[in-house]
Structure formats: structure tokens, C-alpha cells
A and B are shown apart, each in its own frame.
Chain A
Amino acid sequence: MTTSAIAPNLPRTAVKPFYFNTSAHLLRITRQKASSLGEFLDALRECPEGSIFQHSFRTLQEHHFIREGFSNDFAHWALSACNEPSLAEGLASVDVREFTSVAELRERFVEIVQNFLQRNPAAGARPAKETFYFCASDTVVIPANFVAHTLQEFAEGLRGVSLHSVHHHFIEARLRLKLMSNDFSQWLYEDMGLTEAARQLNRIDIYTGTLEDVRNQIIRIVERALI
């Protein structure tokens, strides 16, 4: 996607309508668990991709109401159960939006833990206060009650859908699209010709506000594009 100025002669109706969907997730308890950082590193390597997705992407949805201090389950466990603030900081700094595949994301987490344990070998066997149980997410995608043919309808849909739908289109989407983008930006760019609005959406910081804040920011950008 380019970041050029707003395309002239905006179409009143989209080339293709935007169908709002949502994803529903069921948590499966996997075989992996860790009672120390050494075990955690092994489990990180072995766990199904669904676990990496669950504890990074999906946990953001489960904890969408937390404004600050929560990034992913791995970072939270490193701090609260292992009392390793520098490792926790490293894990927390992983931004899921920089990844378009779970495999790459797993590599990043493994690299951080591995490097930490190389610098702090004694930490590997130290028992954690609580065991980390790896879960995985089984996902079913279902339609939401909104379809947008126009920007106006798009804004209405954004207001009406659940936060699960916002997460599905705005955060999880990059794994489907394999692009550093999201469904909303793609539609605004490809089907409405709103390059700048699409770009602005991609700049929203999902880690410094709640998902409701994110929704409101998206709506504000779309409303500005309506004027």
C-alpha cells in the first residue's frame, strides 16, 4: 500500500461491500506446560501454533479492557511467576502487528527466552511460582449482522459490531492477509480509494488503549473521511 494523498473522485459506493465477520474461539488445553523457564523454552518450541496465537494475539482480545501493563501471557508469567522483569520486558515488547505468520512470532519469543537464559543460566531451572499451561485456540468464523456498501454504513457497522469482530478484522487479520495491514484498511484502500484513512488506521497503537478505545479511534478516522 502506498501512502499517497487521498484518491480523487471517491466512489459513493464501494467496489465490493465490506462484510463484517467475527471469530469465536474455544480454548483447548494442550500437553505443554512449564514450571521453570527452561521448561518454558522447550514448550515454546514444541507447542502448536494455536498456542502461540492464543497467548499473544488472542489474549489481547480476552484482556481488551486493560489500558496498560498487559501485552501477552508469556510476559505476564515471566514477571508474576518467575520474577524476571527484564525477560518480561523483552517479551512484552513483542508487537504482534509486526508479524504476519505465527511461525515468525514463535521464533521471536524463542529467541528472547533463549538469549535471556544464555545470559542467566541459573534462571532456567528455578521453579516458577505458578505453572504455565499452554492453551490453544480453536476458531470458528461467523458473520456479524452488518454489511457496508458505503462509508456511512461502514461507520455504522463499526459502532454496532462486537469487540470480537473488531479484533478479528483489525488485529487477527494480518495472519490471514499475510500483510502488515488489516481488513478495514484494505477495504478503505482497495474498495473505497481512501489511502490516507487506510494508512491512519494502520498507525493506531493497540497496546496503549483498550480495544474499545481502538474502535473509537477507527470510527473517528472513518468519520473524518466522511466529511
Chain B
Amino acid sequence: MEPVEPQTEVEVTARESQPEFGVPSTAAPDRRERRKKPRTWETPPAPVPPPRLDDYKGIVGAADIDELKFLARDLTGKTLKMVNSTAVGGGVAEMLNQLVPLLNELEVKTHWDVITGGNDFFEVTKAFHNALQGSEYNLTPQARDVFLMHNELNRQRMQFTEDVVVIHDPQPAALIRARDESPRRWIWRCHIDLSNPNPEVWGFLRPFIEQYDAAIFSAQSFSRQLEIPQYLFYPCIDPLSEKNKDLDDSFVQQVCDEFGVDRSRPIVTQVSRFDRAKDPVGVIQAFKQARKYVDCQLVMAGGGASDDPEGAAVLKEVMSAAGDDRDIIILDLPPWCALQINALQRASTIVVQKSIREGFGLTVTEALWKGKPTIAGAVGGIPNQIIHKLTGALVHSVDGCAYQIRYLLTHPEFARQLGQNGHEHVKENFLMTTNVRRWLLLCRILLAGGAK
């Protein structure tokens, strides 16, 4: 097996010896030869302006966009403030970057504020974040003080004059102290899984949360019993983003050529950072089992190995599990490779997301949107997306995953139907336009006195 060369940010690993059972690929060019070619994806692309509402008409239909306009009509002149802890990086900032312009276009004037804090604050909130998702943590009086002090500084710095204030995640949760006697509505949007929180941290935060008018969770199973109404907002993808927009087949081919993926043979792909929660080694084991009976290649496209020691360790384990199998293509990609990820997903025959722990699992949403038959672990928010045998296949083990790979590769008509259903499921429930609809609905319901 070739070692990973850490001097490159993008590492393409193709195997040079023969696989144990599979048919050797003749289409994949030699790795060193490929490296002589210019690789445009090694630098970040220029940012793309956010889409306009009408840009979605071709995807969801004019009637759905008209419905958003009707829903927004009663909110004209109302104002909304979103508050989170970061302007760039992470799923929340990415979502707000798309949502806020769309709400403004619908004349629901929406401001986005970001809280500030020192390293001490963000160390505490990172620990809270992990603790709320089940990690061990000893909540000290000092950590409480740091959390409360920075929330108080932000409360003093910020103004809350809007009709609806939405606080995202635990970091700014104590801003609810700014609540006064006005009819202003306060919403707490929780993006993390609270199903098994550290009792000390949750016990500390809960009194703040219960002062809100409503809480929003990303999946039913992530919620807690609370004294306030709780709503379900599934996370969403933007069908016009680099990660999800339609691509010319010539571009898909170009990406496959660059990465040594042979489109004349079935392609099984898992896209996820190199993290044990995604069970990348289990995917390789399942692939090797399946390939005893069906010809296929495996693409493991991920990231996080260059800036995360644990990610690098997991990548090593993955390389070791792959051995000298040249049908396993391992790609450690930088975060700006959205177009390349998109192309790899579109080139795939089957997409796998064999997670053993998961948040909502937006990589599953992306695969379903592209009409790909998808096999995924039945954890986190994945069962909301995959209805077993109707919109994909849920699995609980390596053996189950191997079987589903074999089954779907040998039953293409069934696989096609799963992919088609999966696409429609995303269109109905997990697109940015649906997210806009939910925000409009919740604002209407709350401002009409429908909660608390």
C-alpha cells in the first residue's frame, strides 16, 4: 500500500496491485501520471451570490413559490432577527447565508447577528455542545460564569427590537434574559441532538430554554420534554448550491477521470469526513463482502484528515483496511470541493452512509436529491429520510450493508424506483424552499398568538 503523502492537501489514492476478487480496472490511469495534470480544485472557488426565489421555480414549481409569497403576505412589515455564534463555517451559518436573503426577498425583514466571545467562552460552549450530545463533562461554577458573562455582554451590546427573535443553538441561549414585557416572540432553534444530554449541562440550560415561546428541533428523537411548544424543522439542502446543482455530464466525467473512477463499472460511494462515527472501515468490509458476488468500485470521499489528528488516524485505519485493493479509491478532499463531491455523487450507482452515530445526515439528503439509491445506517435523523425499501435501505450492520449493495446492484429497476422516491421525498420535505415555508408558518402562528 502506498503511504499518504501529507504535503498535498488533496490526496488521491489509487491502488496498484490486483484486488482479491474484483476485476482490475483498466480505465483508471496511473496515479503519478494523473498528478501531472492541473488540478483546479486545489484552490477555493470564488463565492457564488445567493439564489433568488424565482431561481427555485424550475425545481419546485411556480405554485410552490406562489405559496411562499402568499404565506409571507401577512408578515409584510414584520421583522425577524437570527442570532448565532459564527458567521462563517458550519452548517448553521451556511443555512442562514441562504435563508436570510430569501426571507428578505419575501419582505420579511430579517437581520442576522453573531455573538462575540473570547476563547474562554468558546471553549466552554464547545464543551457544552459535546456534553449536550452525551459526552462526559464536569460543569464547574467557573464555566457557568464564563457562559453567563459572555451572554450578558452580548445582551448589552445587541438590540432586540424585532417582532421575532430566533436564537440558534446553546451558545447564545441565555440572551433570553433580554426578554421584556413586549409581545416580541422568542424562538430557540436547536441544531444538535439533545436525546441524551449531560444532565448537569442540560439542567443548567433548561430554565433558559423554557422562557422561550417555542423550541425547534431537527428530528423528533433529538427533542426533550419541555413546557413550551416544540416544532420539527428538518435540516435542508439548497438544490442550487455547488454541492447539489445539476452538472453537465462532461464535468462529471472529468472529475471521475481526475480521480481514477471508472464509470463503465458500478460505483459505490460514501461521502463523509474521516470519522469513526461514519464507520468507514465498516463500509470497506461491506464492499469487500459484496464484491465477491458483484463487480464494483468503492469511492470513499471525505475530508478532515489534514487538520484533525483523529481524522488523520481514521484515514490511516481506512487505508489499512483497504489494503492494496485498487478498486477502493480514497479521497481526502479540502472543504471547497463541493462541485467535485457533487460530481462523484452523481457518478455513483449507489451511495452509502453507513453511520453508527449521526446528526441529521445531510449527505444522505444530498444523495437522495440526486436520485441515488441510498443505503444508510438507521441512526440519528437518517430514518426521517430513508423509509426502508421505499426511499432507500436502512441497515444496522456490515453484513446488512453488504447485502443491500449486492441486492441493489443486481436489481436496477428497484434501485431506480428507490432513487426516484428518494428524490421526491427530498423535494417535498428537505429543500431550502421548505425551510423558508416553515419559518413563515411559525412566525405566522406565533404572531397570531398560537404558542405559549
Q: Which residues of A contact B (CB under 8 A)?
A: 22, 24-29, 31, 33, 62-66, 69-70, 76, 80, 129-131, 133, 135, 138, 140, 142-145, 160-162, 164-165
Report chain B residues within 8 Å CB of A161.
63
Asked if A76 and B63 sit within 8 Å, CB to CB, the answer is: no
**Which residue of B is nearest A133, CB measured?**
B220
What is the CB-to-nearest-CB distance from A161 to chain B, in angstroms, rounded to a whole number? 5
Report chain B residues within 8 Å CB of A162.
61, 63-64, 67
Asked if B223 and A29 sit within 8 Å, CB to CB, the answer is: yes
Q: Contact flags (1/0) for B64-92 with A, using CB distance below 8 Å?
A: 10110011000000000000000000000
Count, chain B residues at interface, CB 8 A: 38
Q: Known: A28-B231, A76-B387, A138-B441. Contact between A22 and B428, CB under 8 A?
A: no
Asked if B64 and A133 sit within 8 Å, CB to CB, the answer is: no
Q: Known: A130-B378, A138-B445. Contact between A65 and B67, CB under 8 A?
A: no
Asked if B390 and A140 sit within 8 Å, CB to CB, the answer is: no
Asked if A65 and B445 sit within 8 Å, CB to CB, the answer is: no
Report Cα–Cα, A145/B378, bound state, in Å. Answer: 41
Is B229 engaged at the interface, CB distance under 8 Å to the other chain? yes
Select one of A24, A28, A62, A80 contacting B429, CB under 8 A.
A62
**Which residue of B is nearest A76, CB measured?**
B387
Report chain A residues within 8 Å CB of B232.
27-29, 135
Asked if A66 and B390 sit within 8 Å, CB to CB, the answer is: yes
Asked if A160 and B230 sit within 8 Å, CB to CB, the answer is: no
What is the CB-to-nearest-CB distance from B87 to chain A, in angstroms, rounded to a whole number? 28
Report Cα–Cα, A133/B67, bound state, in Å. Answer: 28
Asked if B390 and A135 sit within 8 Å, CB to CB, the answer is: no
**Which residue of A is nearest B420, CB measured?**
A65
Select one of A62, A135, A140 contacting B428, CB under 8 A.
A62
Report chain A residues within 8 Å CB of B389.
69
**Which residue of B is nearest A143, CB measured?**
B70
Report Cα–Cα, A11/B71, bound state, in Å. Answer: 34
Report Cα–Cα, A212/B387, bound state, in Å. Answer: 20
Asked if B441 and A29 sit within 8 Å, CB to CB, the answer is: no
Q: Which residues of B contact A (CB under 8 A)?
A: 61-64, 66-67, 70-71, 217, 220-221, 223, 225, 229-232, 378, 383, 387-391, 420-421, 424-425, 428-429, 437-438, 440-442, 444-445, 450
Asked if B231 and A142 sit within 8 Å, CB to CB, the answer is: no
Contacts A/B (CB < 8 Å), 28 sampled: A24-B437, A26-B441, A26-B442, A28-B230, A29-B220, A29-B223, A29-B230, A31-B225, A62-B428, A62-B429, A63-B428, A65-B421, A65-B425, A66-B387, A69-B389, A80-B388, A130-B383, A135-B220, A138-B441, A138-B450, A140-B71, A140-B444, A144-B70, A145-B63, A162-B67, A164-B64, A164-B67, A165-B63
Interface hub of A25, A135, A142, A164 (most chain B Cβ within 10 A):
A142
Report Cα–Cα, A29/B420, bound state, in Å. Answer: 28
Report Cα–Cα, A58/B450, bound state, in Å. Answer: 20
Asked if B71 and A142 sit within 8 Å, CB to CB, the answer is: yes
**Which residue of A is nearest B234, CB measured?**
A27
Report chain A residues within 8 Å CB of B450.
138
Select one of A63, A69, A135, A142 contacting B70, CB under 8 A.
A142
Report Cα–Cα, A145/B421, bound state, in Å. Answer: 28
Asked if A144 and B441 sit within 8 Å, CB to CB, the answer is: no
What is the CB-to-nearest-CB distance from A171 to chain B, in angstroms, rounded to a whole number? 15
Report Cα–Cα, A131/B420, bound state, in Å. Answer: 27
What is the CB-to-nearest-CB distance from A57 to chain B, in angstroms, rounded to a whole number? 15
